[in-house]
């Protein structure tokens, strides 16, 4: 009952935010399955659909697979690949565009009392398929997230901020956008979980910045290895 009430409150808050703005609103719905290959290595695969409130509703979809590696109690790393289909509905030439994206990350974790702190640094490279002179689109992403463990409460809050810099970590020249997130992860019966997040994405250092208000829903099925 507590979980249902918290979900209603969370969704109600999102609706009130939507009602007060006239920016771009998106829904990101995804499914992910991960398998414990060994004690310290997980492999995963899944997909995501993104729809938006302006122009054509379809925005982007992708499939993804990769691996996550636990180094020790405080460090983990991983890498992955995305095959992306993206709709370009702006300008004279419009249509679906295909991209490949590769990424690798390193995550540090630290627990203090009821707080769980995480810092992730990710490098990603995205290029368009079928374009002979396609230029690599490289980004560094720095994300900080904190979770608070509430006693006898399954919907522990999570708050995060992520910064995007193009080509390198020079924030003075290449800082392009940030994402603020607030949500929770619900551990359901068995190996199932559901993550619900509100994400605010803001562009910086552009003439006409666009604010993106995103509701992200992610279902995960986790399989433990032998």
Checking if the pLDDT of 100 tops 60, the result is yes
145-180 pLDDT tens trace: 999 999 888 889 999 999 999 998 888 889 999 999
Q: Hunting for tokens 């995963």 — which residue is that?
A: 44
Domain span including residue 208 = 2-223
30-80 pLDDT tens trace: 999 999 999 999 999 999 999 998 767 898 999 999 999 999 999 999 999
Q: How far apart are CA 27 and CA 51, in angstroms?
A: 5
Residue 82, CA distances (Å) to 65, 180, 213 in order: 7, 23, 23
92: left (phi over 0), alpha (psi -120 to 50) or beta: alpha
Q: What is the CATH number of the domain that holds 155?
A: 2.40.160
Cα angle for residues 128, 47, 179 (degrees, 5° grid) = 75
Checking if the pLDDT of 83 tops 50, the result is yes
Q: What is the total count of domains within the chain?
A: 1
Q: How far apart are CA 29 and CA 48, in angstroms?
A: 6
Query: Which pLDDT belongs to residue 185?
Result: 93
15-34 pLDDT tens trace: 444 444 468 999 999 999 99
């Amino acid at each position: 009952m507590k979980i249902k009430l918290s979900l209603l409150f969370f969704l109600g808050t999102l609706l009130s935010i939507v009602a007060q703005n006239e920016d771009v609103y998106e829904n990101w719905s995804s499914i992910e399955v991960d398998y414990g290959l060994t004690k310290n290595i997980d492999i995963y695969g899944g997909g995501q659909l993104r729809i938006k409130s302006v122009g054509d509703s379809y925005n982007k979809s992708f499939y993804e697979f990769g691996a996550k590696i636990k180094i020790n109690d405080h460090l983990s790393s991983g890498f992955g690949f995305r095959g992306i289909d993206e709709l370009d509905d702006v300008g004279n030439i419009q249509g679906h565009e295909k991209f490949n994206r590769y990424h690798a990350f390193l995550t540090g974790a630290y627990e203090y009392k009821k707080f769980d702190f995480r810092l992730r640094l990710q490098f990603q490279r995205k290029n368009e398929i079928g374009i002979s002179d396609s230029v690599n689109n490289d980004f560094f992403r720095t994300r900080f997230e904190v979770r608070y463990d509430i006693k006898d409460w399954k919907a522990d809050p999570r708050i995060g901020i992520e910064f995007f810099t193009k080509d390198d970590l020079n924030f003075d020249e290449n800082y392009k956008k940030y994402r603020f997130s607030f949500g929770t992860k619900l551990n359901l019966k068995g190996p199932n979980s559901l993550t619900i997040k509100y994400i605010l994405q803001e562009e910086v250092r552009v003439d006409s910045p666009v604010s993106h208000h995103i509701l992200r829903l992610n279902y995960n099925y986790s399989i433990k290895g032998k």
